[in-house]
Structure 1
Amino acid sequence: MENDFKLAVLIDGDNIPSAYVKEMMEEIAKYGNPTIKRIYGDWTKPFLSKWKNLLLENAITPIQQYGYTTGKNATDSAMIIDAMDILYSEKVNGFCLVSSDSDFTRLATRLREAGMKVYGIGEKKTPDPFIVACDKFIYIEILQNRTKETEGSTTTDKPVKKSQVDKITPKVVKLISSTISDLADDDGWAFLGDVGSLLQKKQPNFDSRNYGFEKLTPLIDSIGKFEIDQRDSSRGKFKLIYVRNKKR
């Protein structure tokens, strides 16, 4: 992602754990330059105290929002109002909404209607409506897995045996297979980059890391139902990867 792709990062401090904020910000940097970074919550409440040092370390601006009425989430309202103000300021190209709350579903939809790219980050408990309202949705749990996996300065493409890693179900295999078919040429081959992009459009929370793989290629290879072909690019400096469904 180019540095001139500017992102507004808006964090719902009420329902996002603070433990992996560093990994979260590193993930966000893959998709653009986070020029606006704000976190919303009632900072008079003790449970938000863990965030305070992390805000300075990551240059995140805290926005104080008192809960004026019992049972109403003032943080959500403040975040939504700020998002619309930022949208109309035309200072960013996209948004990263960090929350596990389905209350932000309509906000994500509205931002996309305005031509914004919308990334979501939240826990696996996040309701589906918010997930599918985003262009891409990343689970915090896979960032936790990556942190543990890379300890000792080594990273592997092999499956990680952790309770938080999802199983590769027949539904996942069918999704990959149908996506390859949608893009295949006359010989059944599809460019892997295009496959990954279409998978993301079909299912915004699709991520090879959910299944314990850093990249899509080893995930597809592990299933055993697809062929993989590496071809030289026209410039010869790197390989182009193509996949197709194995013939029965």
Structure 2
Amino acid sequence: MKKDKICVENPAQRVAVLVDGDNASSAKLQDVTELAGRYGEVIVKKIYGDWTKTGLSSWKEPAKEFSYRLVEALPYVKGKNTTDMTLVIEAMDLLNSGNIDVFCIVSSDSDYTPLAMRIREEGLIVIGYGESKTPAAFVNSCKRFVFSDQIAQSGSNPGKGDTPGILLKKEADLFDKAYELAIDGKEEVTLSQIGMALKRIRPKFKTRRYGCKTLGAIYERLDGYEVMQTGIKGIYNVVRKKSSLQ
């Protein structure tokens, strides 16, 4: 098992998102996906549950939309839940494969505390995501824990007083992150590359939310950026103004 130093928000990292379908809300799947995307490339996305239960049917549409695999965890004894055991077994398989750098465990169940501790022992990052009722043991076993009921849903409808211009100012850090993710040490970056980075961070990103028809129009309105022609029709570069780097 490699012992390389793992960095937060490194686009080269490989991320696994493991969701306890019995212990999480399907309405938060977009938020989870965006969170995981900030830590690298999400290459494993799985939701675990007994899919014969009608109560879990709400997962099916968001799973399709965000490309998650639904993993069956049938109970072999009446009244017993095997979801957590199935998730743990697959997490250990991923850990032993050496192909994952960051694990995102979505649950409010303290049963995942030993799993998080074991993954951390290998020098890897564990991100937890669950409700504020989550026991402290699981919260503290993670590198970072996000409380789903204490943050606004990413990409939610704007408030009554939020005009597109106000929203752009409020969410300017989203475009800063997309720029940094896309440029990744290169000398220049195109609008299309930034657009792909934005889709990784926020899969449902829409320019009209900010009162603009194009992504280029958004960066032209942001402080600290310039949109420049490349000489090739339809291709534009985005550059940071020198004043914004000082």
What range is the shorter-chain TM-score in? 0.5 to 0.7
* Residue of structure 2 equivalent to 1:2: 10
Give the match for residue 112 of structure 1: 120
One-letter amino acid of the structure 2 residue matched with residue 51 of structure 1: W
Q: Distance in 2 between matches of 1:103 and 1:68?
A: 19
Letter aligned with residue 94 of structure 2: I
Cα distance in 1, alignment partners of residues 86 and 105 from structure 2:
13
Cα deviation code 1:140-159 (max 9, x no counterpart): 124435555745544476xx
Counterpart of 2:54 in structure 1 is: 46
User: Which letter maps to 1:101?
Assistant: D
**In the alignment, does 2:181 pair up with 1:137?**
no
Aligned match of 2:39:
31
Which residue of 1 is the match for residue 245 of structure 2?
Answer: 238
Write the mapping of 1:10-89 to structure 2, written as runs, cut at 5 A. 10-89=18-97
Q: Decide whether the 8 Å contact of 2:132 with 2:150 is kept in 1.
A: no
Secondary structure in structure 2 of the residue aligned to 1:76? helix
**Contact kept in structure 1, 2:50 and 2:74, CA below 8 Å:** yes
CA contact (8 A) 1:13 1:41 kept: yes
Sort the Cα spacing of 1:149 and 1:137 in 2 relative to 1 into closer, same or farther, 3 A. Answer: farther
Distance 2:86 2:42 in 1: 19
Normalised TM-score (structure 1): 0.60
2: CA distance between counterparts of 1:72 and 1:120?
A: 24
Judged with a 3 Å threshold, the aligned counterparts in structure 2 of structure 1 residues 105 and 71 are, in CA distance, closer, same or farther, namely farther
Q: AA paired with 2:245?
A: F
More deviation in 108-117 or 18-27? 18-27
Report the more deviating stretch, 119-128 or 16-25: 16-25
Tell me the CA shift for residue 31 of structure 1: 1.7
CA distance, structure 2, for counterparts of residue 143 and residue 130 of structure 1: 19
**1:124 corresponds to 2:132:** yes
Please give the alpha-carbon distance, in whole angstroms, between the structure 1 residues aligned to 2:47 and 2:16: 11
Question: What's the CA shift string for 1:217-240, capped at 9, x where partnerless?
Answer: xxxxxxxxxxxxxxxxxx86436x
The runs of 5 or more residues in structure 2 that have no matched partner are 1-8, 171-241
Give the CA RMSD over aligned residues.
2.1
Q: 1:109 deviation in Å?
A: 0.3
Is 1:97 aligned to 2:99, yes or no?
no
Contact 1:40–1:79 (CA under 8 A) maintained in structure 2: yes
Distance in 2 of aligned mates of 1:56 and 1:143: 24
State the alpha-carbon separation in 2 of the partners of residues 146 and 7 from structure 1.
20
Structure 1's unaligned 5+ residue stretches are 158-234, 240-248
Q: What is the TM-score of this pair, normalised by structure 2?
A: 0.61
**Partners in 2 of 1:137 and 1:27 — Cα distance?**
11
Partners of 1:61 and 1:146 lie apart in 2 by 22
The residue matched to 2:100 in structure 1 has which SS? Answer: coil
Q: Contact conserved, 2:104 with 2:129, CA < 8 A, in 1?
A: yes
Greater relative contact order (Cα < 8 A, sep 6+) = 2
SS of 1:144's partner is: coil
The number of aligned residues is 162
